[in-house]
């Protein structure tokens, strides 16, 4: 892991404009077993991740299920205690007021036994915000700002549509005027026509209240639309990171290209941006049993000798602030010229 300590993302923006800076973040989940219930193994869900998010921007974290992207979001919020690494966020008061989360499945993230108004006012109550009357007003104001008819506040979540539920989830998250929101696949359980509206709502809110987002998704086309900076995750590591245009116009890591190749083009312009052959073999390995060296080598069509050795470092791609963790970018190792 030593190469990670050198902070390969040093060259990414680290000015005062950065709201959040994460370095070497690790989260390992122990597996207990045996008669004594001792730790027998661990799942390295997040294994040394570094990134910074500039104020008011959206950082898109993309990857398939089990890659650790959700774990990162939850670890930032201290829903999981990190195993290692450092999180610095300037001027965050109590962390749970300034940082909030919108969950993936609004059917599960809203308590079915409570009414909308109680769900939205919960953060206000917990943090002792305002009087009863002020809280009621704030709930109306919040519902209004997420585009939810206020008369729905007496309903239970099961009486709302998926989009409405997610609006309630967003209202709850912004109740205390946080600076930073983790959006954990906020639209993946919604229909596309609803997803579009929720995405626009999130964009509006970002502009109005000056929010900074960590947008987690498995959908590259969506990330392309919402993020300013993108990190591609595979098995607990960020394998490629850069500005959104660079990632999508000039993808360098074979995994990024594999993800892109799985997209079904909508039109001819899409087709030009999508590699036409599917570029990953097999399925994601069990995170408990990761291959050594480059984690992607077992599925990579371009794998060659160095991939079995040490884990590859981050290599610059030539674009500004764009790096990928792949030996193909290393001129010493790479067999014959630029890979793509």
Partner 1 sequence: MGPERQNVKESEAATRGEPEPEQARESSNRERRQRFRRIWYQMKRNPLTIIGILMILSMVFVAIFAPVIAPHPEDRAGHNFEKGAVAPSLEHPMGTDTQGRDILSRIFFGARLSLGMGVVVLGIAGTAGITLGLIAGYVGGLPQTIIMRLTDTFLALPGLILALAVAATLGPSLINLMLAIAFAWWTQYARLVHGEVLSVKQEEFVEASEAIGASRIRVMFREILPNIMSPLSVKLTLDMGFVIIAIAGLAFLGFGAEPPTPDWGVMIAQGRQHVINYWWISVFPGLAISYTVLAFNFLGDGLRDIMDVEVN
Partner 2 sequence: MSEPLLEIENLHLDIRTADGLAEILQGIDLSVESGETVALVGETGCGKSITAKSIMGLLPETATVPTGSLQFRGEDLLALPEKERNAYRGKQMGMIMQDPMTALNPVFTVGDYMTDVMKWQGTHKLGLSDWLSSKFTSNDSLRERAIEMLEEVQIAAPERVFESYPVELSGGMRQRVLIATALLSEPELLIADEPGTALDLTTEAKILELLQDLIDEKDMSVIYITHDLSIAKYISDTIYVMYAGEIVERAPAEELFDNPQHPYTIGLLDSIPSLSKPIGEGIAGELPDTLDRPQNCQFADRCPYSEPECREIYPARRETAPDHEVGCHLYTPEDAAAFDGELVDIGTPPAREQLENET
Residues that bind partner 2 (CB under 8 A): 64-65, 161-164, 191-200, 218-222, 224-226, 248, 258-267, 269-270, 272-274, 278, 280, 283-284
**Smaller CB separation from partner 2, 188 or 313:** 188
- Determine how many CB atoms are found less than 10 A away from the CB of residue 7: 13
**Structure tokens belonging to residue 316:** 């610059």
Backbone torsions φ then ψ of 107, nearest 5 degrees = -70, -30
Q: Is 150 exposed, middle or buried (0-12, 13-18, 19+ CB in 10 A)?
A: middle
Asked if residue 149 binds partner 1 (CB under 8 A), the reply is: yes
Is residue 317 within 8 A of residue 323, CB to CB? The reply is yes
Beta pairing partners, 100: 181
Contacts of 327 (CB under 8 A, 6+ apart): 294, 304, 306, 307, 312, 333, 334
Q: Counting runs of H as helices and runs of E as strands, what totals does the chain give? A: 12, 11
Q: Which does 183 bind (CB under 5 to 8 A by kind): partner 1, partner 2, none?
A: none
The correct pick among 9, 51, 59, 103 for binding partner 1 (CB under 8 A) is 103
Q: Which does 74 bind (CB under 5 to 8 A by kind): partner 1, partner 2, none?
A: partner 1
Number of residues this chain uses to bind partner 1 (CB under 8 A)? 38
Is residue 87 within 8 A of residue 76, CB to CB? The reply is yes
Asked if residue 148 binds partner 1 (CB under 8 A), the reply is: yes
Per-position x/- string for 152-191, each x denoting binding to partner 1 as judged by CB under 8 A, each - no binding: xxxxx-xx---------x--x-------------------
The correct pick among 4, 53, 101, 216 for binding partner 1 (CB under 8 A) is 101
**Smaller CB separation from partner 1, 32 or 288:** 32
Asked if residue 150 binds partner 1 (CB under 8 A), the reply is: yes
**Smaller CB separation from partner 1, 14 or 108:** 108
Q: Which does 303 bind (CB under 5 to 8 A by kind): partner 1, partner 2, none?
A: none
Cα 240 vs. chain centroid, distance in angstroms?
Answer: 13
Q: Which does 64 bind (CB under 5 to 8 A by kind): partner 1, partner 2, none?
A: partner 2
Asked if residue 94 binds partner 1 (CB under 8 A), the reply is: yes
- 96-114 as b/e: b if 16+ CB within 10 A: bbbbbbbbbbbeebbeeee
Asked if residue 132 binds partner 1 (CB under 8 A), the reply is: no
Asked if residue 335 binds partner 1 (CB under 8 A), the reply is: no
Query: Cβ of residue 26: shortest distance to partner 1, in angstroms?
Result: 20
Cα 30 to Cα 6: distance, rounded to the nearest angstrom: 26
Query: Cβ of residue 45: shortest distance to partner 1, in angstroms?
Result: 15
Q: Which does 156 bind (CB under 5 to 8 A by kind): partner 1, partner 2, none?
A: partner 1
**Smaller CB separation from partner 2, 12 or 199:** 199
Cα 181 to Cα 244: distance, rounded to the nearest angstrom: 19
| Residue the block writes with tokens 């998704």 | 217
- Determine how many CB atoms are found less than 10 A away from the CB of residue 156: 15
Contacts of 31 (CB under 8 A, 6+ apart): 39, 40, 41, 42, 43, 288
Give me the residues that bind partner 1 (CB under 8 A), please.
Answer: 74, 77, 79, 94, 96-97, 100-101, 103-105, 108-114, 122-123, 126-127, 140, 144, 147-156, 158-159, 169, 172
């Amino acid at each position: 892991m030593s190469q990670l300590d050198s902070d390969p993302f040093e060259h990414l923006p680290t000015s005062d404009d950065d709201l959040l800076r994460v370095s070497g973040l690790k989260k390992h989940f122990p597996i207990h077993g045996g008669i004594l219930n001792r730790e027998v193994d661990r799942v390295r869900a997040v294994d040394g991740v570094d990134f910074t998010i500039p104020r008011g921007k959206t950082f898109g974290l993309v990857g398939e299920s089990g890659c650790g992207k959700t774990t990162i979001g939850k670890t930032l919020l201290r829903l999981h205690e990190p195993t290692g690494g450092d999180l610095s966020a300037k001027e965050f008061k109590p962390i749970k007021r300034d940082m909030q989360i919108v969950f993936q499945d609004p059917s599960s993230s809203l308590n079915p036994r409570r009414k909308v108004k109680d769900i939205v006012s919960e953060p206000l109550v917990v943090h002792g915000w305002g009087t009863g009357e002020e809280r009621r007003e704030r709930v109306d104001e919040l519902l209004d700002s997420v585009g939810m008819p206020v008369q729905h506040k007496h309903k239970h979540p099961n009486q709302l549509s998926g989009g409405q539920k997610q609006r309630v989830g967003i209202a709850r998250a912004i109740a205390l005027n946080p600076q930073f929101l983790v959006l954990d696949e906020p639209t993946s359980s919604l229909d596309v026509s609803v997803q579009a509206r929720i995405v626009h709502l999130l964009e509006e809110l970002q502009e109005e209240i000056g929010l900074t987002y960590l947008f987690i998704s498995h959908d590259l086309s969506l990330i392309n639309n919402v993020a300013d900076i993108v990190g591609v995750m595979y098995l607990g590591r960020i394998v490629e990171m850069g500005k959104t245009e660079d990632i999508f116009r000039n993808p360098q890591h074979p995994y990024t290209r594999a993800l892109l190749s799985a997209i079904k083009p909508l039109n001819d312009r899409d087709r030009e941006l999508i590699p036409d052959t599917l570029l990953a073999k097999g399925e994601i390995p069990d995170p408990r049993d990761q291959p050594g060296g480059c984690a992607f080598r077992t599925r990579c069509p371009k794998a060659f000798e160095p991939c079995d050795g040490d884990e590859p470092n981050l290599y610059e791609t030539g674009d500004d602030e764009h790096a990928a963790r792949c030996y193909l970018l290393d001129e010493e190792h790479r067999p014959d010229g630029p890979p793509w």
